[in-house]
Amino acid sequence: MAAAEETVTLIIKDRDPLIVSKLRLVENSPVFAEIFVELSQNEHDLSDFTTEIVEMFITLLEDGEVGEIREEDFRELHKISSVFEVRWLQESCRNWLEQKISAVEETMEYETFLYLAEECYLII
């Protein structure tokens, strides 16, 4: 009989806590490794992030790849990947932003240009 997968609890805003694979978090993040392995914690508070971003973050860690990122999710997704030092996700976010910048046209709307400039400023 196989051993049950070890889980940890993530406290999120406005919802019941998420029960997630400890291994998946620890494999992807040295920060989670410190929290759940070195410090032997069984839960961590992620209520500084929106529930939607935490759920997206966990899904991305499970899938191991990023599809399209919505502009309204980019900043928080990059922030959570930076806080927990998920290098491959940080890189994916930066690549997404670079693609957006590469697609800049002279006729770009001011709001789009401003959005790209603000996001570049925040990640450097």
Tokens encoding 38 = 């070195």
Identity of residue 21: S
Determine the angle formed by the axes of helices 51-63 and 71-83, rounding to 10 degrees: 70
Residue with tokens 């994916």: 92
pTM of the model: 0.81
Cβ neighbors of 45 (< 8 A, separation 6 or more) are 10, 11
Residue 99 sits at φ, ψ, to 5 deg, of -65, -40
Q: What is the pLDDT of residues 28-87, one digit of tens each?
A: 999 999 999 999 999 999 999 999 999 999 999 988 888 888 888 989 999 999 999 999
